A = this chain, B = another copy of it.
Amino acid sequence: MTKKHTIILQPSGRRGQVEENTSVRTAARELGVEIESICAENATCGKCIVLIEEGRFEKYNIESKREHLSPVTTEEANYFKRRPKLLKDKGWEAGQVRLSCQAKIRGDVLINVPEESRGNKQIVRKTARERQIEIKPAIRKYLVSMSPPTLERPIADWERLAKGLETSMALVRGAEEKLPRWHELKIDYQCLRTLSKTLREAKWQVTVSVWNDREVIQVQPGYVEDSYGAAVDIGSTTVALYLCNLRTGELLAAESEMNPQIVYGEDVMSRIQYTIEHPDGLEKLHKAIIATLNKLLKQAVKTANAQMSKSANEQMSKSANEQIANEQIANGQIANGQEDRLKVEDVLEMVVVGNSTMHHLVLNLPPKDLGLAPFVPAIHASVDVKARELGIHINPAGNVHVLPTIASFVGADTSAMILAEEPHKQDENWLLIDVGTNAELVLGNRRRLVCTSTPTGPALEGAHVEYGMRAAPGAIERVQIDEKTLEPRYKIVGEEEWNTGKAKGICGSAIIDAVAELFRAEIVDSRGKFKKGLSTKRVREGESGWEYVIAWAEETSIGRDIPITQQDVRQIQLAKAALFTAARTLLKRMNLESPDKIILAGGFGSYIDKEKAMLIGLIPDCPLENVYAVGNAAGDGARIALLNIEKRNEIDSVTRKVERFELPTDPEFQNQFMLATSFPHMSEPFPHIAHLIPHRKADPMAKNFMK
């Protein structure tokens, strides 16, 4: 019988008995501790460094000694010889540091696995709560060394590679993972076309990129460490692309551009209309967005290259490992002439999210039925399609993964938001709201999720408002009104102080502010009407009706007074009524009075003042500290799906179960909607902002809520 020894792994504290001569890496894996390795245990990559701690450990009743590991191998010694600074930089002792793939257990040992060697790396995401995303990308890279073919063994190039790859995968991933046998592996057809040439130029030592543990999509000469991917969020207005390192999860570049489809129609309905009215409309809209994705991709790669060469000058190069490994390879067997700079073809996967219309247009699917009753998408399920089929210029063998849609107006962006925020993992009831021209709402918990959408109009984004503008320099972004003097204070984008700078217009957040303040200061009543006869010149009858002047002409850069008009207030009332009614409908379906948490996604959520949004009844009542603005949750969801393939299955299965409700089919909708146009809402108590609501008593319909 084979002898057994005790191994203790720190910092996890895992311990167990393993057979003599088991490698430390294998032993660790048996005990559930993953240690990195990329070189298939060739003592080349150094990802699997561990430290042996010497001494008598009474707690564990063992004596750990360096001699309890097999002697340092020549390959191992060479690895450290090539990195003279490594030990000093890290403060490690020479005899203490071992490559865990080489060191074999010959006695009891206590092993410390340093942070950088630990497998299953994670990145931290801060949202409503902090959470960690495990890096489990669809793309993994393996170094494969093959013996060249001979007359005696003239096995074909692909089978030679597949056999080597089977071995490398098993070594890197561990035998207990369910991995395909060599003849179950596939190679992308376009990748196969260059395989023979690459293998010979690389002298039979290559790095193979495998998609989804089954398909080879790239073969590169020599040893290459990192893989890259892009997450894309296609909004009707803005397109954002995030370039990520798929091994580390690091964000290398974030680029954005206007959506070029805007010239064919400002909102989704007008773009759908364009494809119906023009025979080549779909083709045009599709090509426009693809061209933008390719442009963003190029920009991102450029940014990442600039970043990398900068940091290479400052610190030890990120690719030092690769260079050294390749030097070794060169000395031994092969020359690796590859430039290390990132190219667009090195981007091996793209994950795309967007609303259902953007989803259809990027996939070149006719969006007609998204816009016509009964409002049906072509597909709910996530789509995997080769980049070359779409003309996207990542590696042609690379996959484009488009997240699932939930309904005609609840698209892949909402799926991504769910993935980022995880309401489906909560015991509490969360309400997720993504506000744009259209608002998508998701409510629920781990047992049940319901969703709906509602048009909110452009007012909440500052459009179609008399002096509305985007949140650019010169835009008023905050407004306060003194209850007694009825005089305003305002803050302009780009100015540090209040009431300084020249105003140019009003952006979305300031419109919410202004309407809330007009209501609080009793300049407009709970039905949104301007009161007449107030002792201020700011309230006046303007060209298009009653209005309140926020900035006088001399305070502006446009030489005209900037007012909030009755029409503007009406727009906000309609928008907030739609949003509130949608939220109410979902709450009713879940038999809830109010949500436990409200998550506001999108730029809008980040800009607005939560308290004021609640005061005008834009969102349901909820303790203010439980209202969170999480920024671009759709973009975050896209990145999560890019970095962790298991999350794709998760969101596929969650979205299959989400219940969709169409508001117009709800019998109470019209009635509710009318009531919801009042401030804050004709039939709702709003206890959490009650102290701000003026004269509830003055409004007979609100008498139930009076103190």
Chain B positions within 8 Å of A377 at CB level: 156-157
Neighbouring B residues of A189 by C-beta, 8 Å: 363, 383, 385, 389
A313 contacts the other chain (CB 8 A): no
A149 lies within 8 A of B192 (CB): no
CB < 8 Å neighbour of A380 from B156, B193, B366: B156
> Can you list 12 contacts pairing A with B, beta carbon distance less than 8 Å?
A149-B376, A152-B665, A156-B376, A156-B378, A157-B377, A159-B379, A159-B381, A183-B381, A192-B365, A196-B365, A196-B368, A196-B378
A369 close to B158 (CB less than 8 A):
no
Min CB gap A314→B, angstroms: 43
Chain B residues near A332: list those with CB within 8 A: none
Residues in chain A within 8 A of chain B (CB atoms)? 149-152, 154-159, 183, 187, 189-190, 192-193, 195-197, 200, 363-366, 368-369, 373-381, 383, 385, 389, 405, 407-408, 652, 656, 660, 662, 664-665
A360 and chain B: residue at smallest CB distance: B196
Partner of A193, one of B151, B364, B408: B364
Cβ–Cβ contact A378 & B662, under 8 A:
no
Which of the residues B187, B364, B378 comes within 8 Å of A157, measured between beta carbons?
A: B378
The residue that A159 contacts in the complex, of B150, B200, B380, with Cβ under 8 A, is: B380
Contacts A157-B378, A157-B379, A379-B156 hold; do A664 and B151 have CB atoms under 8 A apart? yes
Q: How far is the CA of A364 from the CA of B195 in the complex (A)?
A: 12
The copy count of this chain in the complex is 2
CA distance A363 to B157 in the complex (A): 15
User: Is B151 a contact of A192 with CB atoms below 8 Å?
Assistant: no
- Whether B196 lies near A366 (C-beta < 8 A) is yes
Query: Cα distance A365–B664 when bound, in Å?
Result: 57
Asked whether, in the complex, the Cβ of B195 is within 8 Å of the Cβ of A156, the reply is no
Residue of B nearest to A158 (CB): B379
A376→B153 CA distance, assembly (Å): 9
> What is the CA–CA distance of A665 and B154 in the complex, to the nearest angstrom?
12
Task: Knowing A374-B149, A376-B149, A380-B159 are in contact, say whether A408-B154 is a contact too (CB < 8 A).
Answer: yes
Q: Quick check: B656 and A183 within 8 Å, CB to CB? A: yes
A155 / chain B contacts, CB cutoff of 8 Å:
376, 380
* CB-based nearest B residue for A405: B156
Given the interface pairs A157-B379, A365-B193, A379-B158, the reply to whether A151 lies near B385 with Cβ below 8 Å is: no
Q: Please report the C-alpha to C-alpha distance between residue A383 and residue B374 in the assembled complex, in whole angstroms.
A: 42
Contact B369 A196 (CB under 8 A): yes
C-alpha gap A159/B376 in the complex (Å): 11
Residues of B within 8 A of A363 (CB): 189, 192-193
Minimum Cβ distance to chain B for residue A594 (Å): 27
3 closest A-B pairs by beta carbon, nearest first, are: A158-B379, A156-B377, A156-B380
What's the Cα separation between A430 and B631 when bound, in Å? 72
Known A149-B376, A193-B365; 19 more pairs at CB < 8 Å = A151-B375, A152-B662, A154-B376, A154-B408, A157-B377, A157-B379, A158-B381, A159-B379, A183-B656, A187-B379, A189-B363, A189-B385, A192-B363, A192-B365, A192-B378, A193-B363, A193-B364, A196-B378, A200-B369
Q: Which residues of B contact A151 (CB under 8 A)?
A: 373-375, 662, 664-665
Bound CA–CA A494/B364 (angstroms):
59
- A100 CB to nearest B CB, Å: 35
Known contacts A193-B365, A365-B193: A158-B378 contact under CB 8 Å: yes
Q: How far is the CB of A98 from chain B (nearest CB, A)?
A: 40
Please report the C-alpha to C-alpha distance between residue A685 and residue B193 in the assembled complex, in whole angstroms.
49
User: Which residues in B have their C-beta under 8 angstroms from that of A381?
Assistant: 158-159, 183
Q: Once the chains are docked, how many angstroms separate the CA of A91 from the CA of B511?
A: 85
Residues of B within 8 A of A375 (CB): 151, 154
A452 CB to nearest B CB, Å? 12
Q: A378 to chain B: which residues have CB within 8 Å? A: 156-158, 192, 195-196
Bound form: Cα–Cα A189–B660 in Å: 26
Known A149-B376, A665-B152: A366·B158 in contact at CB below 8 Å: no
Provide the residues of chain B in CB contact with A187, threshold 8 Å: 379
C-alpha gap A660/B150 in the complex (Å): 13
- Closest B residue, CB atoms, query A152: B665
Closest to A388 in B: B389
Residue contact B192 to A157, C-beta cutoff 8 Å:
no
Q: What CA separation (Å) do A477 and B366 show in the bound complex?
A: 63
- Separation of A189 and B365 alpha carbons in the complex (Å): 10
- What is the chain B residue whose CB lies nearest that of A161? B379
